[in-house]
A and B are shown apart, each in its own frame.
Chain A
């Protein structure tokens, strides 16, 4: 093989791709990052500085436009898609997908620099020791080839760089991160915490852990980042770079090494495989704007395109050696697609705080109730568990939906109003090989790439778990003294809707039943690593971005070792 143009190619610049690129660059490797979407320039594309009156029609996207371009994205995350943020989300008509009959799937995403790390909700939790052993103990899926202790140093390294606000709680199942100060709980949340923890032994109500700077380090300041200003404009980007995104942190850090080359509008169509040396020999790309085809090559390839897109790239990369897709001798590529599962949120009014309000707009978060099911409570009719996200805040401006007119009505909006407490469970979904993404047999997108077909359904465990979660939430609300407790009759969240896709190229010990080894390196192809959500052997119930980044950092440093040793 001719000398490679780059030491490493990273496909995707989002949450995990940014971390892969940073670590590889900092190890002195020449890195090419391929991003399928256009460049986001913060000074031009962040809209966080717009005042409410600087947006038209209440910042709502026109209804006809939603119907034409955002019919999937908007129905999935209406809260985040505004007139001033729609440029961060894909147009569904340009990026179609299909769903198997009788199923539905939300594939919610943005194609641009830093991917969804710009629009994420920033909740940041470690997995716990139990999450790495549950499959083995229960005989579900395959065993993780990694244990919690293996990843601890990488969690620490990533957290120190990213910046996570949270409180030290010393919980076994939800280990503490390296923290910056937490956002303090509201009075109603403190009361809820006290009453729930007294009534339910083993349950904890803690401040949400979120990737916001509250005591920026020198390293973070050097990247132009500063502390959170409590504006809660995060879905518009952040000019203060106070919340973590690839664009606010990892990509600038990678760039400062002088080793980063970034190419936008580069849609990867496939990976070329050289059977002579059992290596990927090229990354085939089509330019999203010009349709020009190019091939790049490197010594190692990191797929960080997201669990679904990375699986599709492998499935599209067929060769004589790999007739069903690259690195797919196990037939597990595209299978075991997981998300987190929610059902109805539960809400109630907490009285006694009418003389209290808050100052500032807390970004994301509020409270988190770590998993207790099958951790401290072992009487459950389901496997695994869930964590609750939620919080209490004054209901405040009710948008005109209270009775009355005139002065009284007008001034009612100035008062904080009743305090409303709400929680939503995020539950673990068990791996199931029948839940999968495949390539459509004939339908192609405008660049000639097969469109994905999703066939994903929740199982009995998820259904039973979520019913119990709603009951638990109601009981905790009652214990805390909430009144007017309500829950909708909502069915389970649509698969994909929590935007935590994972599992499509799982890690495992056995090459015949898993795609990746414990380093996130393909069993079948030594110079291929996949460190987006695809590697996840089980989903746990914690928001996964931190774990993707920790495994990315670990794999990148392992790959750099292999390169320096001349192994790959």
Chain B
């Protein structure tokens, strides 16, 4: 892993700092923090991995994506402030496993093309929801990413149309007319 970590470190420096953050799927989207920096919990390469996965799972569409909503930063805080040492260790081990599996599917998940990375993650995701019990850590990561995204203001209000004060209960709304 050491060699790979060193490689990723170099990659992050090479693609620029936080200003390179973009949700549109170019190579720079792997950077969610300043160049070469991890978070409070994540190392720089873990943060890069989380960022790329988050972006692929919930991309920017007509509404903000996971990176726009700073999901990687949210996860970093979740792991730092909420998770026990046991959960942290399990999560860290899961990231290693996920990284290895994605690399074996794509050659190199962090440097492959957008399409290549999406194909690799798609396959892993499909395995994870098709009975591969070794991928519980991935399902859990996907849960963190998704729940975090929908708990942000962007995810809740723009994507889910969450309203603070419904004011009434309507038990039957046609989807074609409802918003």
* Cβ of B133 to closest chain A Cβ, rounded Å: 15
Q: Which residues of A are found within 8 Å of B89, using beta-carbon distances?
A: none
Q: Is B61 an interface residue (CB 8 A)?
A: yes
Q: Of B9-17, B28-36, B143-151, which binds chain A?
A: B143-151
Q: Is A566 an interface residue (CB 8 A)?
A: no
Q: Which residues of A are found within 8 Å of B166, using beta-carbon distances?
A: 229-231, 359-361
B142 and A400 contacting across the interface, CB-CB below 8 Å? yes
Q: How large is the interface on A (under 10, 10 to 19, 20 to 34, 35 or more residues)?
A: 35 or more
A406 and B156 contacting across the interface, CB-CB below 8 Å? no
* Cβ of B97 to closest chain A Cβ, rounded Å: 18
Given known A230-B166, A359-B166, A360-B168, contact A63–B58 (CB-CB < 8 A): no
Nearest A residue to B121, CB-CB = A405
A interface SS class = loop
Nearest B residue to A54, CB-CB = B153
Nearest A residue to B127, CB-CB = A403
B169 and A356 contacting across the interface, CB-CB below 8 Å? no
Given known A53-B152, A230-B167, contact A409–B175 (CB-CB < 8 A): no
Q: Which residues of B are found within 8 Å of A360, using beta-carbon distances?
A: 166-170
Nearest B residue to A396, CB-CB = B160
Q: CA of A183 to CA of B73 in the docked complex: distance in angstroms?
A: 40
Mark B135-179 against chain A: 1 for CB-CB distance below 8 A, else 0: 000010011111110111100100111101111111111111010
B125 and A359 contacting across the interface, CB-CB below 8 Å? no
* Cβ of A539 to closest chain B Cβ, rounded Å: 31
Q: Is A331 an interface residue (CB 8 A)?
A: no
Query: Per a CB cutoff under 8 Å, which of A67, A402, A413 touches B160?
Result: A413
Q: CA of A228 to CA of B146 in the docked complex: distance in angstroms?
A: 30
Q: Which residues of A are found within 8 Å of B122, using beta-carbon distances?
A: 404-406
Query: Per a CB cutoff under 8 Å, which of A62, A357, A413, A415 touches B146?
Result: A413
Q: CA of A354 to CA of B78 in the docked complex: distance in angstroms?
A: 34
* Cβ of A290 to closest chain B Cβ, rounded Å: 33
Q: Is B118 an interface residue (CB 8 A)?
A: yes
Q: CA of A185 to CA of B156 in the docked complex: distance in angstroms?
A: 26
* Cβ of A401 to closest chain B Cβ, rounded Å: 6
Nearest A residue to B156, CB-CB = A52
Q: Which residues of A are found within 8 Å of B151, using beta-carbon distances?
A: 52-53, 55, 58-59
Mark A173-198 against chain B: 1 for CB-CB distance below 8 A, else 0: 00000000001111101000000000
- Tell me which residues from 50 to 83 in chain A have a Cβ below 8 Å from any Cβ of chain B: 51-53, 55-60, 62-64, 67
Q: CA of A414 to CA of B126 in the docked complex: distance in angstroms?
A: 21
Q: Is A490 an interface residue (CB 8 A)?
A: no
B164 and A359 contacting across the interface, CB-CB below 8 Å? no
Q: Which residues of B are found within 8 Å of A416, using beta-carbon distances?
A: 175
Q: Which residues of B are found within 8 Å of A186, using beta-carbon distances?
A: 171-172
Q: Is A292 an interface residue (CB 8 A)?
A: no
Q: CA of A52 to CA of B87 in the docked complex: distance in angstroms?
A: 23
Q: Is A410 an interface residue (CB 8 A)?
A: yes
Mark B47-89 against chain A: 1 for CB-CB distance below 8 A, else 0: 0000000001111010001000000000001100111101100
Q: CA of A105 to CA of B173 in the docked complex: distance in angstroms?
A: 43
B125 and A405 contacting across the interface, CB-CB below 8 Å? yes
* Cβ of B82 to closest chain A Cβ, rounded Å: 4
Nearest A residue to B88, CB-CB = A63
Given known A53-B152, A230-B166, A360-B169, contact A409–B57 (CB-CB < 8 A): yes
Q: List 13 A-B contacts (CB under 8 A).
A: A53-B153, A56-B77, A57-B77, A58-B148, A184-B169, A358-B170, A360-B167, A360-B170, A400-B145, A400-B147, A406-B59, A410-B57, A410-B59
Closest 5 CB pairs of A and B: A400-B146, A360-B166, A403-B129, A63-B84, A57-B82
